[in-house]
Amino acid sequence: MEPAPARSDAYTALLIEDDAKAAKRLMALLEKPSDPPFAIEHVSTFEAGIERLAQGHVDVVLLDLDLPDSRGLDTVMRTVAANLQMPIIVLCEADDVLLSTEVIGRGAQDCLAKRGLEQPMLVRTMWHAIQRHAMQSALTHMSLVDELTGLYNRRGFLALAEQQMKLAQRTSKPLTLAFADLDNLKGINDTYGHNSGDEAIIRAAEALRRAFRNSDIIGRMGGDEFTVLMVDSGEEGRTIIDNRMRQILEEMNLRLKLPFEVSLSLGTARFEPDKNMSVEELIRKADKSLYLRKRARKKEKE
C-alpha cells in the first residue's frame, strides 16, 4: 500500500496549547515556508479543540497534554475518541521515552519535545504522521468494516465500544447500547430471494445511520443483528428512540415501495460507569431487553 502523494495546497495543523509563549513559538515555526506546506490554527482548551475538529478540514493535531479542561493521558484518549480519523502528535516539555510509548499506545502517532524543536523536525514529524495514519486507517477500515453495509463489523464494533466504555468510566459518563434486529429477514429471503434480503439489510443500516448521531458507534454483528453504542446519550429514553426509528422506517418504506417492508426491533441497556461490565455483557443485556419486548408484543397480538 503506497502512501498518498503530498498535496499542492497547505495542510492544516490544529495546535491545542494553553501556554501562550509555547503556542507563539510553534506557530512561528509553521508560518515559514515548508515542503509540504502547513497552515496552523490555535486554540487553548480541549473543548475548543474538539469543537474545531467537528468542523472538519484539519489534517493533523498538535496536542499539549496539560490543558485547563483536560490533563494527562486522558487528553489523548478523549481526543482519539472524539475524532478517530485524525493523526495526533503529543507535545511534551522534554524528551520522555516512557511518555512517548504511553501516548502512542493510546492512539497518538508521535510525541515531540517542545524544548529546542525546530521547523524541519516539526514538519517532518507531521508529514510522517499523516502518511502513517492514512495507511493505518485504510488497513483498519478493511478489517473492521462490514462489506455489505459499510457499518462496523463485529470486531470493529467491539473494539471501539470497549474504548468508549473505558473512557466513560474515566469521565463518569453513562452510555446506552441499543441491540436491534431486522424483522422477518428469513421470510424476505424465502419469498423474494437473497438479493432482496441483502437489500433489506442495507436499508436497515441506512435507517440506523439516520436515526442515530455521527458520534454514535453503529455495527452489524452478523446476519440480521445490529448494535448501536450511544455516546453522551444523556437521558434520551427508549420511547424517543423508538418513535424516531418508526418515523424513519415509515418514510423509507413509503419512498422505496419495495415488495417487502423494512422493520427493526430494538432493545436497550444502560452502562453505568461505576459498575464493572464488559461490552459483551452489555450486548447480552440489551438483547434480553429486545427479547422481552418482542415477547410482550407477540402476547398483545394473541
Whether residue 205 is contained in a domain is answered as yes
Supply the CATH number for residue 78's domain: 3.40.50.2300
Supply the CATH number for residue 227's domain: 3.30.70.270
Q: Is 70 exceeded by the pLDDT of residue 32?
A: yes
Domain identity same for 45 and 74: yes
Reading phi first (left if > 0) and then psi (alpha if -120 to 50, else beta), residue 296 is in: alpha
Q: What are the residue ranges of helices labelled H in 32-86? A: 46-54, 73-82
Which of 143, 174, 199 is where one domain is finished?
Answer: 143
Q: How confident is the model at residue 74 (pLDDT cuts 50, 70, 90)?
A: confident
Q: What is the predicted pLDDT for the residue at 84?
A: 61
Looking at residues 105-123, what average pLDDT do you find?
Answer: 91
Domain identity same for 120 and 175: no
Domain identity same for 168 and 39: no
Q: How confident is the model at residue 197 (pLDDT cuts 50, 70, 90)?
A: very high
- How far apart CA 145 and CA 220 sit, in angstroms, is 9
Which of 143, 162, 188 is where one domain is finished?
Answer: 143
Domain identity same for 134 and 170: no
Q: Is 80 exceeded by the pLDDT of residue 123?
A: yes
- DSSP state string for 84-134: TT--EEEEESS--HHHHHHHHHTT-SEEEESTT--HHHHHHHHHHHHHHHH
Which of 114, 143, 172 is where one domain is finished?
Answer: 143
Domain identity same for 28 and 129: yes
Whether residue 95 is contained in a domain is answered as yes
- DSSP state string for 126-172: HHHHHHHHHHHHHHHHHHHB-TTTSSB-HHHHHHHHHHHHHHHHHHT
For residue 59, give its domain range: 11-143
- pTM score, two decimals? 0.60
- How far apart CA 234 and CA 270 sit, in angstroms, is 11
111, 92 contact by CB (below 8 A): yes
Q: Is 80 exceeded by the pLDDT of residue 38?
A: yes
Whether residue 262 is contained in a domain is answered as yes
Domain identity same for 84 and 136: yes
Whether residue 149 is contained in a domain is answered as no
Q: What is the predicted pLDDT for the residue at 1?
A: 47
Domain identity same for 179 and 134: no
Whether residue 148 is contained in a domain is answered as no
- Residue for grid cell 517542545: 114
Above pLDDT 70, what percent of the chain?
93
CB-CB neighbours of 67 under 10 Å: 21
Domain identity same for 109 and 203: no
Q: What is the predicted pLDDT for the residue at 245?
A: 92
Domain identity same for 131 and 184: no
- How far apart CA 166 and CA 58 sit, in angstroms, is 26
Domain identity same for 125 and 17: yes
Mean pLDDT is lowest, of 5-19, 186-200, 275-289, for 5-19
Whether residue 290 is contained in a domain is answered as yes
Whether residue 118 is contained in a domain is answered as yes
Domain identity same for 34 and 76: yes
Q: What is the predicted pLDDT for the residue at 62?
A: 97
List the 225-230 sheet strands across, edge first.
Answer: 217-222, 225-230, 175-182, 264-271
Domain identity same for 139 and 158: no
Looking at residues 153-167, what average pLDDT do you find?
Answer: 89
Contacts of 272 (CB under 8 A, 6+ apart): 174
Whether residue 216 is contained in a domain is answered as yes
Q: What is the predicted pLDDT for the residue at 232?
A: 63
- How far apart CA 44 and CA 6 sit, in angstroms, is 29
Split into its structural domains, the chain has a count of: 2
Q: What is the predicted pLDDT for the residue at 233?
A: 60
